[in-house]
Structure 1
Amino acid sequence: MHKQVQSSKSLTSNSVAIARLLSISVVLYGAVRIARVWISPNSAGSEMMGVLVFSCAAGLGLWANTYDSALPKRLFAMFFNAFCSLTLLSNLRQGSRPIDPIPLWQVIWFGLTFGLNIYVLARGKILHAEPEQLADDEPAPDSDPNPAQAPADSRTRDHHFAMTRMVLQALLQSEHASPFVNGLKSKGRSLFASIWDDYGKKSIKDPAHIIPSDEIEVYVDQTASGKEIITIKMPKPVARNETYFVAIVQDEEYGSYYTYSLELSIIPKADKMFTMLTGIRNGNRANFGLGPTPDKNAFVAAISNMLETPKEPSTMMQMPTLLATAEMQT
C-alpha cells in the first residue's frame, strides 16, 4: 500500500515558506556576488567559490521542491544540501578547512537554509500542498463515497464534477466515441480543453464558478503488452470525489471504452485526505481502494498493473443514468 508522509499543516506550510525564502535569498546573494566580481574584478572575493557552491545547493533545493518531482531528483538535492552543510561545519573548525573561511553569519544563514531544504525534501511533494495519504496502520474507509453525493462545495465545483463524471462518460458511450478518442490522441489537450471550456460557458450559470482548463494535459502511454492508455490530467481537485487523472482504455469490443480515475477523497471528521482508484465500465462504478500519490507516472503505472493483472473492486454500484450532453461536438 502506498504511504505518503502525513504532516501538520501549519508546521509544513511554515517550514516550506521559510525554506523557500531562505533558498531564494541565498541564490540572490550568490548572483549579487558574481555580479560584483564581474563589475569590479579587484573587489574582495576570497570565499567566492564557497558562495557559488552554496548558492547552487540552495537552487537545487528550490528546483527539487516542485510538483511531480521524482524521488531521485529530491535525493540528489538532499545529498548536495547535506554535503554543503558538512562543508559549513568543517569551515568552523580551526584546523584544515576545505574552503576559505567565511563569516559566521553566513555559516548560520546558509546552514539554516540547507537544514530546512533537507527537511522539506525529505517530506516529499509538499510545496503544492498535495493531500496527505492514509498511513499503512490507519484503516481505509469501509465503503466508497457515494458518487451521487455532490462535494461539500458543489456550488463552486459543479464544473469539475460534471465534466469528469458525466460529460466525459457520455462522450465515451456515444456513437462519436472513436472519433473523440482519436482526436485526443492527435490533438492532445486542445480538444478536451475546448470541450471543458464550452461546457463551462453553456452550463455553469455563475461565471465565477467556471474552472479554467489551463491545467488540462493529455498523455498517451502503453503497457508492457502494448495496451494503450490515454490519460487526461484534470484541473487540480480540491473537493471530495474530484479527479486528478482519468485514464481511457479500449474495451474488448472495438469502439467501446472504459475509464479509471484517481480521485481525491476525504474523511471529514478525521480531516484525512487521500487518493482512491476508481473505474467506470458499462455503467458501473467500481472502487479499487487506496491509490498512489497524485503523479501521472505513478497513476499510469498503477493502471498498467491493473490491466496486466486484473483486480477485483472493493465495491461496485450502478451509476445514475448519464444525461445527454448538450450537443457537445467531438
Structure 2
Amino acid sequence: MSKGNPPGLDPKRLRAHLDRALPGLTGGELTAELIEGGRSNLTYAVTDGTTRWAVRRPPLGHVLATAHDMRREHRVISALRRTAVPVPQALLLCEDEDVLGAPFYVMEFVEGTPYRTADQLAAIGPERTREVVLALADTLVGLHAVDPEAAGLADFGRPEGFLERQLRRWGKQLEASRSRELAGIDELRAALGGALPRSPAPAVVHGDYRLDNVLVGADDTVRAVLDWEMSTLGDPLTDLGLLVMYSEQRAVPGSPLTTTREAPGHPTPAEIVARYAARSGRDVTALPWYTAFAYFKLAVILEGIHYRYTLGQTVGAGFDRIGQLVPLFVRNGLTTLKEG
C-alpha cells in the first residue's frame, strides 16, 4: 500500500463529507492508503483507527467516456448484495466532485487475499490452489445465474447486439488512446467483427473477471468480487473468455502484469471451461472467439494505461513497461482466433 496522504484522496475532506452524509459513521480522524495493484480506478483503504472502509474513485487525469462510472459500480454491488454473489456492502455514493475532485463511493472493507502471482498461490500448496481457482469459476456461474429483473438490473444494459456494440466500443477506446503504430491490432478488430458468434441468454456481466479482482478468505472461498467498473447486462461468455485468457497467459518477465497459471495445482483453462459448462449448462463451443476478444480488449485497456503514463497521469510503479505488453496480446488474440 502507498501510505501517507495519497494522491486523489484528502482524508479531511472525506471525513467532513461523511460527517454530513452519514453522521456517526466515523469516530475520529481518518487516514488513507492507496491499495496498489489495480490498473485503472483507484481504491483506498480508509480508517478512523477502529473501523476500515474502502473508497473507490476514477483515475487521475485522462478518463475515457463511461469507462470509470462510479454510479454504475455502486448500483451493481448494491443490487447484487441482495443475491448470493459475494460483494461488499455499499455505504455511500458521492457525485459531488468538489469533495475529492471526482465522483467516488464508500463501501465496507472486506478481509481477504487478492491472489495476483503464481508465488502467492504456491505458498498455499497445489490442493488449495486448485480449490481457489475452481471457486473462482463457481462464483462466475453464480453471478451469471442471477435474474437481472429480480435483482433490479433489468435496465442495466442492452443485450441485443451486445457483442457488436462491445467491439465497436473498444474500437473507439482504442482510437481515443492511440498514440503510436500497433501492428496487427486493426487486423484483429476486423477479424473479430467478421466472425461474431450468436450470444446465449443475457446475464449480469462483470467485464473484468479474474483472480486478482476477488478477495479469497482463509477458508479458500471467494469473500468478495471487486472492480465492477465494466459491468453490464450482456453476453456471459465474455466473462468466461476473459477468465480463460488470464488462465492461459504466461507471466512476462520484467512486466507489471502478473499471472497465476504456473502455480502448482492451478487448473488448466480446459478444466475451468469444463467446470463452468457443467455447472451453468451453457454451450461453450464458440469460446475461442470470446478469448480472442478478451485479448483485444485487454490490449486496448493496456494501451489506454500506456497513454496515461505518457501523459504523466498514472499512480504507482511499473507503468513504464505496460506499453511493451500490448503487441503480445494482439498476437495472442490473432492466434487464438485463427486456431479456434
Q: TM-score range by the shorter chain?
A: under 0.3
User: Which has the higher relative contact order, 1 or 2, with Cα contacts under 8 A spaced 6 or more apart?
Assistant: 2
Scaled by the length of structure 1, the TM-score of the pair is: 0.22
Which structure's CA Rg is the greater one? 1
Give the strand-richer structure, 1 or 2.
Answer: 1
* TM-score of the aligned structures, taking structure 2 as reference length: 0.22
